[in-house]
Every structure is written in structure tokens, then in C-alpha cells.
């Protein structure tokens, strides 16, 4: 999404790779020692991994308004939102492990509940703190991406009782960047 919003999507080839802690993907490990995607492969330069770092790099490649504010409170707010989005994704992955991915006999309900609470608290925080009228920035992109994935994976719902967040997300989903990057597929372990 960030590449689309920055006008760089045409310069990037997306290659989908399945990754999992239980099924090693050698092609991904060859570029990222953590074995995680995304990884940005650059011609003649080392790969860049982690969504936050890739976004920061891409923001240096376009001539438009920076999507990561350079200074002041606007920067810290955008980065705070980006951090909450990363936390949403991390907690969502952990809830998913404790509900559908780990063998049922090995699931730990208290851990699932603890990570679900992190999701709910973050949704409530976003209802209050999301700068819905500000110019587009990396925090918006990260939050929209995280919420889209959480909804796609049918994880704890953010829509109940959060009208401001829902209205913002529903409008954001209509952006060309969201429509160009639909989620699909299943994870296999």
C-alpha cells in the first residue's frame, strides 16, 4: 500500500512467499535471517526487511509529500500509529496461533485472551487517537493494513462500538492503494 500511495508501485515486483515458523522458506531466509516477509530486494544492495524500514526507504524514493513526517508532533504521532499497527499485527498473529494454527491440545486460552485484550485496548485507543482528518501518513497506511488483515483473518472485531474508527476504515478501504492490494490465501503449516 505504501508503494502505491507514494507512486512507486510500478517500480516494484511483488513476489508472494508463504512463511511460517514451522515451515522454513529458504528463499526468504536467504534475504532475511528472521525468515519473515516482507523483504525488499534491491539491485546491487542488501535486502531491506520489516515493513517499517521498507516504508522509510520507499519514502526516500519519491518526489511527493513525504508520507513519514520529518519532524515535530506530526512525526511522532504518525510513528506512534505505525507502532500500534505493528502491535495489532503481532497480537493478531498470536491470537491466531492460539485459536486456529496450533494443535488444539497445545493451545493456551489465557495467552489467547491476553493478546485479545491487547487488540481490544488498541482498537479503543485508535477510536480516540486516530487523526482521521490529517493528511495521509505512514501511520494511516499501517493501521489500515493491520485492520484489514485482522478482519480478513476473522480475528476479534474492531467494528463494535467504535464508529469513528469504522467510518475512517470504511472510507480508507475505498482508496486505490487498498483496492490494488487485496488480501487472499490461507496459511499452511
Alpha helices in the chain (DSSP H): 2-5, 26-29, 51-58, 72-96, 109-129, 138-152, 163-172, 176-179
Distance CA 177, CA 78 (A): 18
Structural domain spans, the chain: 2-58, 72-179
- Residue 184's pLDDT is 83
Q: Say what the pLDDT of residue 39 is.
A: 96
Ordered mean pLDDT values, 10 residues apiece, the chain (189 residues): 97 91 91 94 96 97 97 97 98 95 94 98 98 96 98 96 98 97 78
Q: Which pLDDT does position 188 carry in this prediction?
A: 65
Residue written as grid cell 485459536 = 99
Domain at 72-179: CATH architecture: Up-down Bundle (1.20)
pLDDT value for 18: 87
pLDDT score, position 51: 95
Amino acid at each position: 500500500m505504501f508503494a502505491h500511495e507514494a507512486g512507486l508501485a510500478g517500480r516494484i515486483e511483488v513476489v508472494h512467499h508463504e512463511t511460517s515458523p514451522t515451515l522454513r522458506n529458504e528463499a526468504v531466509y536467504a534475504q532475511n535471517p528472521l525468515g519473515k516477509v516482507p523483504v525488499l530486494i534491491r539491485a546491487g544492495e542488501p535486502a531491506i526487511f520489516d515493513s517499517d524500514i521498507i516504508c522509510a526507504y520507499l519514502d526516500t524514493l519519491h518526489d511527493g509529500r513525504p508520507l513519514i513526517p520529518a519532524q515535530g508532533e506530526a512525526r511522532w504521532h504518525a510513528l506512534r500509529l505505525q507502532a500500534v499497527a505493528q502491535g495489532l499485527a503481532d497480537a493478531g498473529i498470536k491470537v491466531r496461533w492460539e485459536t486456529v494454527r496450533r494443535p488444539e491440545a497445545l493451545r493456551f486460552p489465557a495467552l489467547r485472551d491476553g493478546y485479545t485484550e491487547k487488540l481490544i485496548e488498541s482498537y479503543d485507543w485508535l477510536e480516540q487517537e486516530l487523526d482521521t482528518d490529517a493528511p495521509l501518513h505512514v501511520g494511516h497506511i499501517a493501521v489500515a493494513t493491520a485492520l484489514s488483515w485482522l478482519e480478513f483473518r476473522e480475528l476479534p472485531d474492531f467494528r463494535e462500538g467504535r464508529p469513528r474508527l469504522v467510518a475512517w476504515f470504511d472510507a480508507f478501504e475505498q482508496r486505490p492503494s487498498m483496492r490494488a492490494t487485496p488480501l487472499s490465501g490461507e496459511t499452511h503449516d
